[in-house]
Every structure is written in structure tokens, then in C-alpha cells.
Amino acid sequence: MKRNHSSHHHNHHHQNHHNNHQNPPRKWLIIPTLTISLLIFFLIILFPHSKPSYSSSSENPNFTTHFNLPKLPKFAYLLTGTKGEVSQLKRVLQATYHPRNYYLLHLDLEASVEERVEIAKYVKSEKVFGVFGNVMVVGKGDLVTVKGPSMIASTLHSVALFLKRVGDWDWFVNLSASDYPLFSQDDLLHIFSFMPRDINFIEHTSNLGWKEFQRARPIIIDPGLYHSRVSSVYYAKEKRSLPSSFKLFTGSEWVVLTKPFLEFCVWGWDNLPRTLLMYYTNFLSSNEGYFHTVICNHKDYQNTTINNDLRYLRWDNPPKQQPLSLKLEHFKDMAHSGAPFARKFDKDDPVLDKIDKELLGRSDGGFTRGGWCIGDSLKGKDPCGIYGNPIVVKPSLRSKILEKLMLKLLDSENFRSKQCK
């Protein structure tokens, strides 16, 4: 099954994005789930055994061999790390890399100057990054206090950089150095091309439970807002009551959010994002509540949520602050979960090698294989060392597992009933 796009280099898309924030917010329509399901089922029935490759036609860019397939999306990846995590951050970049996407690497202020230089040198030395110009490094790291609002400030800083530097992306994904993908980018781009472009993947609930007394009522001060060194948050003696003008939501700090929603958070033509940003300044673990509360308290966005963070995690019973480190015994469950990403992994854990070999087709120090890699792997070289058209995508049979998860999440019983409740 071939899919044809007009051929153009993605580095020339930046001109128009400066005017985005001057326009009034657009009303984003959700495509009925049935349409997507039928489209996907139609593809499966029509071409049950074929592996689609999406290629460009130089003769007639509007011509498609079968019928018009949806346009491939682009992801904006924020990859964050701290002291001692340069090699992990490099590995996550290599595993998630695709010429279509954009990447921003951020080592926080705890990392040394040497580590910062090392990551910058690596990005500069990788020939592919130079050709496609889609990997950026934050030169001066933000100070990030664990559990403090400086974490959400740093995320918004990165979003603002994506909005300023590159205009043509669809979803923002935040990953840490201890995260890892479970699917190739070809699989992800293929399945996400069928998703409505206004859907936000954000795990959330208004049932605060224990978080009401441990997160919402305490008042904290983040020293990172006025000191240039990292220290723990301070607690005020007073407690506060829950707000009455908006409803608090909480959930996972790991998200897959749309560009229109993040423009709303950064440009803020409505005052809600700023009001909530000030409210969350004294809130413990604000990164687990800020986006969730903004999206669920605004009529334009509360119907765009899928209540899932697309991450595979394992927890202790009862759950502790951090999920369990994933090991080889979790591999089978992880591989069949349908989640595009998993966390957290210990540095160089053997399970990462198994994911590389069996799920990603990635060799040590190389990139995850995709349709853009046209080198010969028989000689033991990285096939992505030689590259072709960045819009050629060849999904694997594993993409069916991801498709199954998406259909489940978009199922009408799951979808509406779990939005902003």
C-alpha cells in the first residue's frame, strides 16, 4: 500500500508561526470515533497483509495510488535529564529519533558544564541531525526543584521554545532520561496519522483522595524561584482551602499534548492559564496538576482529553512516590501493553537491550530503524547511516498493538465517560 505526499523539506515551515498567537482561538472539532475506527478497519480489510510505505511523488504531489490517506503528524519531544544522565539521554534520543520530528534536550542546572558540553558536542557531531536540523539543546539549564513549581516553569519554557523555533508540529511529548519507547517512530507516526489532531492524552481525575491533604492544602515555597542552587521545598505552617472558582484536577506528569492547547497555555488569550500558574506556584508537585486543571476548566478543551498518559508503569502495592524500575520479567507485559513509552529504567539495564533488539530494531549507538534508513545492515553498520526521504514510513506488524489500544481509548464508552470527571 503506497501513500503519497507532496515532497517538501520540513525546515522551511517556520515562517508563519509567529502570527499564530494573534488569531482568536479556533473551535476544534472532534472527529467522531466511528469515522476513525471505520477508516482503520477499512485499511485493515482492504490491505490485510501489506506494509504501507508513505512516499512522495515528484510527478504529481496530489496523486495517491489508492485513496487519500491522512497526513503524517510530527512530534515535538522534550527530553530531560540531570547530573549523571548524559548517556541515558543520548540513548533515548537515538531510540526516539525520526527526521520528521523535533527534539529539545534539556539538562537541568544540576548537570555540570562538562556534561552540557558533551551533549552539545554529540548533537553537533551526528551528521543526520545536521542534515535535518531538528535537534536542539537548551544552552543554559533551568533550575528544577523536585516537587516544586520550577518543574512546570521549565516544561513551559521548553514548549515556548518549540513554538518560537518550529511551527509545524502536532503533539508535544515529555520524556525523561529514564524513559524509553516501546514502538518505532514509524509505527507511532502511522497510527497517530489516523488520530484527530485535537486529542490530548493526559491522565487526570478530580478525585484528589490523599492528594487533597498532602498536595492541595499545604502551602509550599520553591527556593528554585529565587535561589540559583537546588534545595528542597519549604512548607508554610498555614493550610489553605480548596478553590471555589475552578475545580482541581490531578494526574500523571507525563503527557502527549496538542499544539493548539499548549499555545493556549503559553499565549493565554483567556486569563485561566495565568491564574492557574500563579495558583500552582505554592502547590506541591504542580507538574501533576497544572495542565490537568487548565484543560478541564476550559470549555474549548475539556472535551479533547483522553484519560491516559500512554506510558507503561509498574507500581508497588501500596504505590510509593516512584514507580518500580522495569526489568526483564516485565518485558512481555510491556511489549503487549500497547503503550508507546515506558518508565522507569535503570541506566543500561539489560531490558533496554531486549527492547532495542526485539521491538525497535536498534543497534548499540544507532537509531531505531525506519523507512528513512536505507543503509545495508548486513555489513554490521547502522542502516540509518545512509538515509532517504524523511516522509517514507514503513509501519511494522507491531503497529496493530498500538492501534488496538487507540481504538479502545477512542471507544465511545471509554472516551466521553472518562473526560474531566
* CATH number, domain containing residue 414: 3.90.550
Q: Are 2 and 55 in contact (CB under 8 A)?
A: yes
Domain membership of residue 234 (yes or no) is no
pLDDT for the residue 32: 43
Q: So what's the pLDDT on residue 380?
A: 66
Question: Beta strand 218-221 with 234-239: parallel, antiparallel or unpaired?
Answer: antiparallel
| Domains: count for the chain | 1
In a domain, 229, yes or no: no
pLDDT at 322: 80
Nearest 5 degrees, angle CA 288-CA 293-CA 296?
Answer: 130
Sign of the torsion angle spanned by Cα atoms 361, 52, 182, 6: positive
From 41-45, 231-235, 240-244, the region with the lowest mean pLDDT = 41-45
Band (157; pLDDT cuts 50, 70, 90): very high
Q: Is 306 helix (H, G, I), strand (E, B) or coil?
A: strand
Q: Which three cell numbers stand for residue 168?
A: 509545524
Check residue 37 and give its pLDDT: 52
Q: What is the mean pLDDT of residues 176-183?
A: 97
Q: What share of the chain is helix, strand, coil (3-state, %, to 5)?
A: 40, 15, 45
Residue 214: inside a domain: no
Q: Is residue 222 part of a domain?
A: no
- Burial code (b: 16+ CB inside 10 Å, e: under 16) for 1-31 equals eebbbeeeebeeeeeebeeeeeeeeeebeee
Does residue 357 form part of some domain?
Answer: yes
Confirm whether 17 is domain-assigned.
Answer: no
Residue 4 falls inside a structural domain: no
CA dist., res. 239 & res. 244, Å (int): 16
Question: Does a structural domain hold residue 309?
Answer: yes
Cα angle 263, 268, 271 (rounded to 5 degrees) comes to 155
Confidence check: pLDDT of 36 > 60: no
Q: What is the pLDDT of residue 29?
A: 41
Q: Is the pLDDT of residue 236 over 50?
A: yes
pLDDT tens digits, residue range 109-150? Answer: 999 999 999 999 999 999 999 999 999 999 888 888 888 888
- What residues are paired with 315 via a beta bridge? none
Q: Which three cell numbers stand for residue 297?
A: 476548566
- pLDDT, one tens digit per residue, over 67-117 is 466 789 999 999 999 999 999 999 999 999 999 999 999 999 999 999 999
In terms of pTM, does the model score above 0.75? yes
Section 60-70 average pLDDT? 45
Mean pLDDT across the chain:
84
| Cβ atoms of residues 389 and 372 within 8 Å | yes
Percent of the chain with pLDDT over 90: 59
pLDDT interval class at 39 (50, 70, 90): low
pLDDT tens digits along 311-363: 999 987 776 778 889 999 999 999 999 999 999 999 999 999 999 999 999 98
Q: Which domain holds residue 326?
A: 75-206+251-418
Q: What is the CA radius of gyration of the chain?
A: 21
Cα–Cα distance for residue pair 78/115, rounded to 1 Å: 18
Nearest to 104 by CA among 82, 129, 144, 76: 76
